[in-house]
Structure 1
Amino acid sequence: MIATPGSLLSLLRLLQLASPTLPVGAYTYSQGLEWAVECGAVKNEADTRRWIGDVLDWSLARFEAPLVARLLVAWRDGDDGEVSRLNEDFLASRETAELRAETVQMGYSLTRLLSDLDAYAGLSGWRARLAGIEAPAFPVAWTAAAAAWQIPADQALAAYLWAWLENQVMAAVKAVPLGQSAGQRLLAELGAAVPALVERAQRLPEAEWSNFTPGLAIASSRHETQYTRLFRS
């Protein structure tokens, strides 16, 4: 089957959203991983696989991913009130000052970028909708672009999780440190779990959403006073 120009453009927009070159500062954050390395909980490739895999499964896939799925629906349905509610819920779910500052900063940077791209990338009208959200978190701004570019929900969700996973592996390569080949092995193994996590996230009712990961919260809070740091979280 030959892809249509419209579907290829949606794919290219999705690649743009998931790219490490997206200028939102994601590379400056480790989300507590740097402290896990500092305290000796993560020392090698196997430790890294376990840490990132657990955060992916127990936090991202059970809270952030279903929230992203719901945001995509709300944006496409024109339900900006629901978007605001989900934004407030996400901000309230950030356990530490660093994690909250991270998502607010990245959300601000992406909102500003989308405004700059307005005239070039078919985002007309979305600037005003985003401006109506107070302190949009990163998932809110990201899903606004995905919805505006009519990216299928399952593909958008897979790309969102992949971008997070890639950033965590890149942080581990620098902080543990690991070799580039080890990083690619981690991406291949952990990435294989993403399709099933996407499917589960799209079916998970809100009453069952949970990001109860006390180890991650402790790592993030300890990182706030860590003496030597490469990352901002």
Structure 2
Amino acid sequence: MNTLALVRLLHLASPTLPVGAFSYSQGLEWQVDCGAIRTEADAGAWIAAVFDAGIATFELPLLAAQMRAWAADDIAAVLDLNDDYLASREAAELRAETVQMGYSCLQLLKALPECAGVAARLADRGDIAYPTAWSGAAVALGVPVEPALTAWAWAWAENQVMAAIKAVPLGQTAGQRLLMALGEAMPARVATALELPREDWSNFAPGLALASCRHETQYSRLFRS
């Protein structure tokens, strides 16, 4: 991986990427509201469980498959995987989240000459999930698959920890401890995702689905999911 590709990957994984990731908690806020998450340990256990139940075993292998499809210029496979990802969003909030972030990502890609072709290939294709647009950008910018998956996992974990810092609330040092613990598990999860057959992908996380559904009617909220 050359230095420019690394810079581009850091760009894609940055919390400053204008796609609105900071505004979502993916059910974590409801877990705080109902009292299931009160401490740093509670937050770490919830985030790690969601990561293992869905991110590591569904989003990461799907992202890898999409990047391979983009590299092969197989737009039919890209869109097939896009439909799979949309179908995997059990709650209205979770689906709206990925569609909004996918739309925002595409608007950004249109303005970046290196990625405008990705946006053009996805124009008028219906709802586009965030991984679909992001994976196309990663390939267009010359990012290899394994580092891309690692960055995706890190960005997700960072957003979840920042949501916990705001909602529980937790201190910044507690947040860094959580990230250190979550990061330790990522290399093995990424390695597994790279080889996981499609028939073994799984996002069975009923607790996340229920938390997301409950969050839709939560009285007072900081986050959109």
Q: Which amino acid aligns with 2:127?
A: A
2:15 corresponding residue in structure 1: 20
Aligned to 2:206: 214
Distance in 1 of aligned mates of 2:43 and 2:119: 39
Distance in 2 (CA, whole Å) between partners of 1:147 and 1:185 is 32
Equivalent pair of 2:118/2:133 in contact (CA under 8 Å): no
Query: 5 Å matches for 1:182-221?
Result: 182-221=174-213
**In the alignment, which residue of structure 2 is the partner of 1:7?**
2
The amino acid across from 1:58 in the alignment is A
The alpha-carbon deviation at position 150 of structure 1 amounts to: 1.2
Residue in 2 aligned with 1:171?
163
Q: Is contact 2:119-2:133 (8 Å) kept? A: no
Q: In structure 2, how many angstroms separate the alpha carbons of the residues matched to 1:125 and 1:219?
A: 37
Match of 1:143 in 2: 135
Is structure 2 residue 118 aligned with structure 1 residue 126?
yes
Gaps of 5+ in 2: none
Aligned-pair identity in percent equals 60
Aligned to 1:3: none
How large is the Cα RMSD of the aligned pairs?
1.0
Q: Distance in 2 between matches of 1:166 and 1:206?
A: 27
User: Relative to structure 1, is the Cα distance of residues 16 and 156 closer, same or farther in structure 2, using a 3 angstrom cutoff?
Assistant: same
- Work out the CA distance in 1 between the residues paired with 2:124 and 2:189: 31
User: What is the CA distance between 1:124 and its match in structure 2?
Assistant: 4.8
Cα shift readout 1:160-190 (whole Å, capped 9, x = no counterpart): 0100000000000000000000000000111
Matched residue type, 1:218: L
| TM-score normalised by the chain length of structure 1 | 0.95
Amino acid at match of 1:55: V
Q: One-letter code of the match for 1:109?
A: S
2:67 aligned to 66, 72, 88, which one? 72
Q: Deviations over 1:5-55 (max 9, x none)?
A: x81111111001000000000000000000000011111000011000000
Deviations 1:73-113 (A, max 9, x none): 00000100000100001001000000000000000000000
Q: What is the TM-score with the length of structure 2 in the denominator?
A: 0.98
In structure 1, the partner of 2:33 is 38
Q: How many aligned residue pairs are there? A: 225
1:130: how far off? 2.2
Secondary structure at 1:117 match in 2: coil
Runs of 4+ in 1 over 6 A off after TM superposition: none
Deviation at 1:135, TM superposition (A): 1.4
Unaligned stretches of 5+ residues in structure 1: 1-5
> What does 1:52-91 correspond to in 2, within 5 Å?
52-91=47-86
1:226 corresponds to? 218
Amino acid at match of 2:177: R
Query: 1:125, CA displacement in angstroms?
Result: 2.5
Q: Is the 8 A contact 2:110 2:116 kept in 1?
A: no
Cα offset for 1:132?
5.3
